[in-house]
Structure 1
């Protein structure tokens, strides 16, 4: 029997990405109201998306009481799966956008505190100034940097000796002891 390889897949019923995002956000906050604020939707819209998702799945994802919600065991399991799916979609989309013919990707590695207190404020307005450069910023908590981290620029603390990288000292670090007066 010959099969047609150009034949489309049989229709399958999948939840929309909006429904998955609403569920993930509500599950993360354990609140439809907080999810609505984050997603710039109404609380009833979030609740409706989740209810439609539950109806499609034919199971409850949340326990609902008058003042709070909590995840059912199925909801907890589904939340972890949905979280991975949404992360995968985000990475695939970012990679596609950053590797398109019109844009470039600048990979940056930084210590978390330096990133939050200096780097991110210093980069405000970067995307408006350079719209064809997408930033991929990763935090590196430890002192060890290796070539397989695949960075174009790294803001690191240390002696300045890292393979295949040119080090430029930005500033000295000043340490201050903070303790209770009795010490």
Structure 2
């Protein structure tokens, strides 16, 4: 969190404000109606309630920093003030509410019940103020669009409504979307990218949006031609549809699936497509069986355009990850879009888990 420059003698504003509050408002920094308070005053008005007119903002910032790190030393470093100043601010807040916020134990500092109630509220309020101040301060963000890369299948199946919703909420932020079927972080001048990749360690901020769960999918007409066959017989007699991955063998996804399911399968024949979206469209309109994400293409399954003949779902190790550079999070447009995407996919995962649990319960009830 950044603080405004303080001109007097290069002192930190929190430390100087502490001196000012102590001299004028008393230890808790509370103003008494009707005139200056007496030293040590801890009430705000006749009703004894705190209102926003004299909120102890520096004390709240200090409390949030200490609570975030569970350390007065680390909290002081985060706000670039002395540890004694942090202690005074937290103590003044404790005096104000009449309850301790921290307690020391053998394992270190921990929040009291009052601290556990207060911390998430203060953190959320400070985060929101910081974001909004940056948005207002950076009004020129309209002059440069947010550059986002999204894989084509994810873009067409899931991300378009997400982008539309974000634009409706934040019309001042323009977005340029690029797409390619590359795995890993794509080259180019981008602000952030959703990538189709396997887990890896790097120097970028990486958020898992979802892990892919695949199964053989085909049209109802294709399945009618192969009913009664085992999974292995079906896959060896139907035309396999492949999705190409950059710098990977043609049949990698089918080969990996066959290994997991312990199948003997010829993974080299069949048509190959640049995207899962194209392969699925071919399977629906023509023939063949595609190994596709059952969550991404759930709407096609629910509509009856695709069928999943076998309950043989597998994870192929790939997933969709949001990647960006840590320093770019200071850009309010990037920060807001990242938060929007993470919330969307977290909500979607919750809905999918609920639907899957209900589906399993129905199967158990029929058994």
TM-score, normalised to structure 2, is: 0.29
Question: What SS class does the counterpart of residue 60 from structure 1 fall into?
Answer: coil
* Alignment-derived partner of residue 145 in structure 1: 159
Partner of 1:104: 141
CA offsets, 1:1-38, max 9 Å, x none?
xxxxxxxxx9743122x222211111110001111111
Larger relative helix fraction: 2
- Unpaired runs of at least 5, structure 1: 1-9, 112-141, 160-167, 176-183
Whether 1:34 aligns to 2:48 is no
Deviations 1:101-150 (A, max 9, x none): xx334453657xxxxxxxxxxxxxxxxxxxxxxxxxxxxxx864323233
Aligned length: 125
Q: Could you tell me which residue of structure 1 aligns to residue 126 of structure 2?
A: 86
1:15 is matched with which residue?
Answer: 56
Determine the structure 2 residue equivalent to 1:131. none
Paired with 2:89 and 2:180, the residues of 1 have a C-alpha distance of 46
Structure with higher Rg: it is: 2
Moved over 6 A (4+): none
CA distance in 1, matches of 2:147, 2:96: 42
Q: Name the CA distance, whole Å, in 2 between partners of 1:87 and 1:76.
A: 17
| Runs of 5+ consecutive residues of structure 2 not aligned to the other structure | 1-44, 46-50, 168-173, 189-244, 249-367
Provide the rounded CA distance (Å) in 2 between the counterparts of 1:72 and 1:157: 51
Counterpart Cα distance in 2 of 1:78 and 1:157: 46
**Residues 173 and 39 from structure 1, CA distance in 2 versus in 1: closer, same or farther, beyond 3 angstroms?**
farther
